């Protein structure tokens, strides 16, 4: 009996030692500088070589449409879509081409689904834009890398023709930007320009193309469609090398450059190009996420000084389609959620997560696959279209932002290295909050700790809401590639629509809440 009592005391002490209490101050009102946040904060950059796999050819890909429409139903705004990326500098146009003709290199265990080395497209390729959800905003990439103005002009005319079609116009699908060239700072490394290619030379190239492309597209200061500027893979963050600052100094915003309204830059947290990936906990870590984004503060400030908007036009976990056992996991969903929400605090208006057919880091796999995305090996059975864990980051962010089209978001100051939190405001008043525990609960972990959050409100003149509803992203282990549920429901369904029964907790705010390792929660106040 004494032995049993001692065991009970030991177990109780172990449980108590795993729960830590943290006070979190939550303002009831948004401040004048609290950033606004768009319902399409999390948007998609899509590799262009397999574009028609995503949309469909003669009829729409219903699975892909549903995954986008899910988000539109939550915020009333579908994700913005950028098409092109690496593919845009390998694309040519031929009028008699039916959709697209592609040439792919052999796949490897490191890159099981490589990009095409050559894509030839016709009018029908761009016309499939009509299969996107109504009211979608689109960016199309145009080939600058091949240094062929004729190809760029022909592509542009076909893009404009597509967006002038009655079907696309009736759906309210609009062309926001033409993007000329993808990651021109890498041209000197990938053979598209000389080894000594400079940002000043790129500006000269860009302006030369822009004069022709803007004429072909009918762009003007009053037209809705504008140019997307920069789209660099990296940045020197100075007026030398490749950066927005260097481009501005070299005259990018002169002549047709005056039609640039937004600067885009790309960011990956690491690289798997040579087969060397990062650890999942490294990707998820709160301080690492902030460090990977705050380095762009000089670029953002320089962009705003020119009166331009700033986006991350292509981003994801690890370059070259992701790292196996990292980019395709539930832990990466927490990374994506914290990453996108923190970006708002730097006034990055939109974050385009890159996706491609068979890419390890894709939120969505839109078609049936027959070989592994992790190493290229044949699958024992075909893998039908499905969402990957990162998709839940887009769902959670959308629910937190809500339907008002007038939301603001504020990162909460939380004195804990693993806990991030964000408050969301509608018309200036607190509506919801998201909390993320970025400690990776791994297969080798033996004890899953929790952190208790006590919520304190900082505007005594206003009534503190007595109750809250708590919705949880339930994850088994950080390395899980499936089996994630959001409020008891799943998007891992055959049609991409939500399934299962909703499960939430209703509790007094005074009780606070516990959040365990590798978990995210959405708190709604009422």
Q: Give pLDDT tens digits for 92-101.
A: 999 999 999 9
- Tell me what percent of the residues of the chain surpass a pLDDT of 90: 90
pLDDT, average across residues 45-67 = 98
349 or 271, higher pLDDT? 349
Residue 348 lies in a domain: no
| Angstrom distance (rounded) from CA 312 to CA 7 | 53
Using 50, 70 and 90 to split pLDDT, how confident is the model at 381? Answer: very high
Q: Which pLDDT score is estimated for 277?
A: 66
Q: Give pLDDT tens digits for 74-107.
A: 999 999 999 999 999 999 999 999 999 999 999 9
Decide: 262 and 311 in contact? Cβ < 8 Å. Answer: yes
Q: Which pLDDT score is estimated for 279?
A: 86
pLDDT over 90 (residue 2):
no
Decide: 272 and 320 in contact? Cβ < 8 Å. Answer: yes
Residue 27 lies in a domain: no
| Angstrom distance (rounded) from CA 230 to CA 253 | 11
247 or 279, higher pLDDT? 247
What's the domain count of the chain? Answer: 1
Q: Give pLDDT tens digits for 430-474.
A: 999 999 999 999 999 999 999 999 999 976 577 777 999 999 999
Q: Give pLDDT tens digits for 191-224.
A: 999 999 999 999 999 999 999 999 999 999 999 9
* Burial per residue of 145-160, b for 16 or more beta-carbon CB atoms within 10 angstroms, e otherwise: bbbebebbbbbbbbbb
| Angstrom distance (rounded) from CA 254 to CA 98 | 38
Q: How many CB atoms lie within 10 A of CB 368?
A: 13
Residue 429 lies in a domain: no
Residue 515 lies in a domain: no
Decide: 178 and 228 in contact? Cβ < 8 Å. Answer: yes
Q: At 149, phi and psi to the nearest 5? A: -60, -35
Q: Which pLDDT score is estimated for 275?
A: 66
Q: Which pLDDT score is estimated for 13?
A: 38
Using 50, 70 and 90 to split pLDDT, how confident is the model at 319? Answer: confident
**Could you tell me which of 106, 124, 123, 125 has the C-alpha nearest to residue 115?**
106
Tell me the β-bridge partners of 93: 121
Residue 449 lies in a domain: no
| Angstrom distance (rounded) from CA 520 to CA 494 | 25
Q: Which pLDDT score is estimated for 3?
A: 38
Using 50, 70 and 90 to split pLDDT, how confident is the model at 270? Answer: confident
Which domain does 269 fall in, by range? Answer: 38-295+308-337
| Angstrom distance (rounded) from CA 95 to CA 522 | 50
Residue 418 lies in a domain: no
| Angstrom distance (rounded) from CA 383 to CA 368 | 5
CATH number at residue 284: 3.20.20.80
Q: Give pLDDT tens digits for 174-194.
A: 999 999 999 999 999 999 999
Tell me the β-bridge partners of 268: 316
pLDDT over 80 (residue 261):
yes
pLDDT, average across residues 237-242 = 94
| Angstrom distance (rounded) from CA 260 to CA 258 | 5
Decide: 522 and 400 in contact? Cβ < 8 Å. Answer: yes
Residue 340 in 3-state DSSP? helix
Decide: 187 and 234 in contact? Cβ < 8 Å. Answer: no
Residue 313 lies in a domain: yes
Q: Give pLDDT tens digits for 462-521.
A: 777 799 999 999 999 999 999 999 999 999 999 999 999 999 999 999 999 999 999 999
Decide: 353 and 44 in contact? Cβ < 8 Å. Answer: yes
pTM assigned to the model: 0.95
Residue 323 lies in a domain: yes
Q: Which pLDDT score is estimated for 11?
A: 38
């Amino acid at each position: 009996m004494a032995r049993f009592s001692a065991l009970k005391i030991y177990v109780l002490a172990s449980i108590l030692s795993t729960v830590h209490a943290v006070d979190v101050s939550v303002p009831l009102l948004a401040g004048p500088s609290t950033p606004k946040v768009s319902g399409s904060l999390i948007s998609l950059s899509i590799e262009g070589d397999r574009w028609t796999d995503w949309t469909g050819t003669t009829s729409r890909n219903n699975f892909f449409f549903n995954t986008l429409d899910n988000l539109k139903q939550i915020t009333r705004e579908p994700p913005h879509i950028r098409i092109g990326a690496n593919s845009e500098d390998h694309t040519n146009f031929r009028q008699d081409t039916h959709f697209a003709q592609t040439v792919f290199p052999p796949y490897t265990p490191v890159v099981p689904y490589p990009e095409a080395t050559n894509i030839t497209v016709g009018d029908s390729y761009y016309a499939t834009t009509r299969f996107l959800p109504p009211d979608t905003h689109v960016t199309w990439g145009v080939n600058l890398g091949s240094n062929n103005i004729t190809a760029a002009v022909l592509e542009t005319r076909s893009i404009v023709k597509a967006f002038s079609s009655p079907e696309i116009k009736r759906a309210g699908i609009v062309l926001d930007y033409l993007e000329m060239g993808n990651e021109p700072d890498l041209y000197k490394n990938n053979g598209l320009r000389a080894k000594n290619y400079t940002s000043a030379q790129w500006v000269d190239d860009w302006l030369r193309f822009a004069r022709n492309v803007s004429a072909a597209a009918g762009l003007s200061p009053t037209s809705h469609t504008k140019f997307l500027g920069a789209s660099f893979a990296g940045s020197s963050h100075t007026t030398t090398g490749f950066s927005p600052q260097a481009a501005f100094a070299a005259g990018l915003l002169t002549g047709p450059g005056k039609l640039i309204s937004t600067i885009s830059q790309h960011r990956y947290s690491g690289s798997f190009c040579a087969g060397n990936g990062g650890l999942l906990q490294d990707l998820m870590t709160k301080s690492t996420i902030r460090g990977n984004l705050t380095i762009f503060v000089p670029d953002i400030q320089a962009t705003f000084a020119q009166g331009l908007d700033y986006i991350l036009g292509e981003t994801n976990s690890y370059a070259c389609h992701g790292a196996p056992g990292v980019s395709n996991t539930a832990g990466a969903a927490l990374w994506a959620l914290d990453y996108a929400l923190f970006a708002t605090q730097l006034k990055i208006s939109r974050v385009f997560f890159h996706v491609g057919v068979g890419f390890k880091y894709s939120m969505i796999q839109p078609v049936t696959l027959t070989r592994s995305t992790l190493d290229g090996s044949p699958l024992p059975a075909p893998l039908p279209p499905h969402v990957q864990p990162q998709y839940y980051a887009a769902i959670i962010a959308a629910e937190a932002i809500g339907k008002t089209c007038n939301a603001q978001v504020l990162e909460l100051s939380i004195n804990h290295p693993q806990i991030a939190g964000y408050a969301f405001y509608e018309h200036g008043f607190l509506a919801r909050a998201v909390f993320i525990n970025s400690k990776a609960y791994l297969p080798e972990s033996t004890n899953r700790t929790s952190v208790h959050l006590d919520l304190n409100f900082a505007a005594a003149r206003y009534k503190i809401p007595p109750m809250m509803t708590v919705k949880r992203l339930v994850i088994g282990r950080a390395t899980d590639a499936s089996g994630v549920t959001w409020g008891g429901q799943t998007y891992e369904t055959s049609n991409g629509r939500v399934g299962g029964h909703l499960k939430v907790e209703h509790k007094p705010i005074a009780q606070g809440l516990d959040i365990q390792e590798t978990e995210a929660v959405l708190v709604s106040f009422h």
